[in-house]
Structures are given as C-alpha cells and as structure tokens.
Amino acid sequence: SYIGEDGGEKGWPKRFPFCGGAFQSPIDFHSDVLQYDSTLSPIELQGYNVSSGEQFVLTNNGHSVKMSLLPSMLIRSLPSQYTAAQLHFHWGNRNKQEGSEHTVGGKHFAAELHIVHYNSDRYPDLQAAMDKSDGLAVLAVLLEIGSFNPSYDKIFHHIQNVKYKDQETFIPGFNVQALLPDQLDEYFRYEGSLTTPPCFPSVLWTVFRKPVQVSEEQLLALETALFCTQPDDPSPLEMVNNFRKIQEFDERLVSVSFR
Ligand code: SG4
Ligand code: ZN
C-alpha cells in the first residue's frame, strides 16, 4: 500500500528489505546529477506495431492497471535484447494531478507510463529476470495534461471494465510505439530498482525527456474509475496516488543523451 496503518511505503522495508537498500527508484533529475553521455544512441524498438488481430490483456492488479504485451516486442538498442512483458501507469488524484514517479528539477508530471522489459538474452521470463542486476529495462514516459491523445485512449477506453481488483478485459492490438514521444533519442538513463515491493535493484531505467500529452478528461478516467478492492468489498478503496516517493541518490549519476 501507499497509505495506511502500516505506514504505507515507509513500512515496505520491514517485509521487503531491498526497499530500504541501494539503487532505489524513482529519483529526481536535477542538473547536479546529470552527465552527458555521447554514446547513448536512440532507442530502437521492434514489433511494437501490433496488428488488431492480436490481443492484449488489461488487468486491475490492485496497485495499478497493467496491460500484457507480446513476446515479439523488443528493445534492440541495448547491449542485450530486452523483451516486453507489460505496461502500467502511476498517477495522482483528481485534486492534485502530480502522480509521476520520476521528477525533473523537483517537478512532478501528472502521471507516468512504464513499459517493463526483461533481458531475454539471459533469462527465460520476467519472473526469472526481476531479481537479477541485469534483468530488467523499463521505458518510462512522463504524462502531462494537454490535448486528447487517441493512442492512450486505446487503453483508457477499457478502464471501465477493470474497475475492481483482479478484473480483466481484452484490448485489440495497436501501435504501442505511439504511446512514446517522437524523440526517442532524448532520455535520462540510470541503474535503479522496481518502484514497488520487492524493490529489486534490477532495472535499467530509460526516462524519455519529452512528456506526452493526454487530456484532463482522460487522466480523470484513470484517477476516478479504479479501485484497489474487489466489487463485493464493503469499503471500496480508490486507486489514487500510486506513485513512490523520490529516493536518495547519493554518489550516483544519471547519464543523459542530450546536451
Ligand atoms: C506495478 O505495480 C505493476 O503493476 C507491476 O507489474 C510492476 O512489477 C511494479 O509496478 C513495479 O514496476 O516499473 N514501477 S516498476 O518498477 O513489473 C513488475 C506486475 O506486477 C515486476 C506484473
Ligand atoms: Zn511502474
């Protein structure tokens, strides 16, 4: 949980020691920690344009809303090949739409998309990779309020069908790359962790510099429709503010692909 008697995220390390350990995410990107790296090449994807004959599964897992991805979807531009497993979101609430996990110069964005991949050169699946230091690569997109985004609506349109924990629905294939900003060459890169328990320090993070716009109505659909609880629960718990606080970033640097 992000709130509650157990201290919310402050209580995570008791049951999940890695959450109190090193290389934790998310972090703030401010000028003191940024270092230009000319070797960071544009992110290259393969198989992201999925035909409408294929299907994704959208699930309310009680912490977020996640969509399964296909094993044919790959990141090609990293030293190992990484295969897509799922994508999910983090967001705030209707009064304070500051729900991104990563921040830039201390500033929160409205929400954040994470596309989780595992190192398929070395591991058979996400489960086997998630506790390995070279196991995961997450692509992150910062979301800000602006114009209506038809690509994001291909997911948000189905949120009504997964209002409660453990509900699932199918989404026809679409071009998942259209969820990313146009500039795949400008990003922040660092080694960090899963932002939820068990907080394994296994993630190579790529956070795109340019945010993507979604409309306020679209964001509200995410913020108001979902519950952490099952339909028969007498005290429904809204799924809001499912972002982790900024973590300490001592003696680490963030590589940036842009000047
Ligand atoms: C969310 O809770 C996802 O629903 C989880 O996905 C995900 O765990 C977790 O966030 C941490 O991922 O990119 N924010 S993050 O660091 O991908 C994993 C599932 O539970 C292992 C499948
Ligand atoms: Zn995430």
Nearest CA to ligand 1 atom 20: 61
Nearest CA to ligand 1 atom 12: 194
Q: How confident is the model at residue 158 (pLDDT cuts 50, 70, 90)?
A: very high
| Residue 63 annotated among the catalytic residues of the structure | yes
Q: What is the DSSP letter of 235?
A: S
Q: Which ligand is nearest to the CA of 65?
A: 1
pLDDT, residue 5, reads: 66
What radius of gyration do the chain's Cα atoms show?
Answer: 17
pLDDT average, residue stretch 60-76: 97
Strand order in the sheet with 103-104: 28-29, 103-104, 107-108
Q: How confident is the model at residue 250 (pLDDT cuts 50, 70, 90)?
A: confident
Q: Residue 251 carries which side chain, given as an amino acid letter? A: E
Nearest to 85 by CA among 176, 219, 153: 176
Cα of 194 vs centre of ligand 2, distance in Å, is 7
User: Is the pLDDT confidence value at 192 over 70?
Assistant: yes
Over residues 83-132, the pLDDT tens digits come to: 999 999 999 999 988 999 999 999 999 999 999 999 999 999 999 999 99
pLDDT, residue 6, reads: 67
Site residues for ligand 1, CB cut-off 6 Å: 61, 63-64, 66, 86, 88, 114, 116, 130, 138, 194-196, 203
From residue 50, alpha-carbon distances to 47, 141, 209, 231 in Å are 7, 19, 25, 32
**Mean model confidence pLDDT for the chain:** 96
Q: How confident is the model at residue 137 (pLDDT cuts 50, 70, 90)?
A: very high
Out of 63, 117, 157, 158, the active site residue is 63
Nearest to 91 by CA among 113, 111, 61: 111
Can the peptide bond before residue 124 be classed as cis, meaning omega within 30 degrees of 0?
Answer: no
Q: What is the DSSP letter of 109?
A: P
Tokens 């962790």 correspond to: 193
Q: What is the DSSP letter of 49?
A: B
pLDDT, residue 96, reads: 87
Q: Please report the atom of ligand 1 found closest to the CA of residue 244.
A: 14
Q: Of all residues in the chain, what percent carry a pLDDT higher than 90?
A: 94
Distant-in-sequence, close-in-space partners of 173: CB < 8 Å, separation ≥ 6: 50, 51, 52, 53, 54, 55, 56
User: Is the pLDDT confidence value at 201 over 80?
Assistant: yes
Single pTM value for the model? 0.98
From residue 42, alpha-carbon distances to 81, 118, 186, 208, 253 in Å are 15, 19, 7, 11, 20
Instruction: Write down the H helix ranges in 157-229.
Output: 216-225
Instruction: Write down the H helix ranges in 91-196.
Output: 126-129, 150-156
Q: Which ligand is nearest to the CA of 85?
A: 1
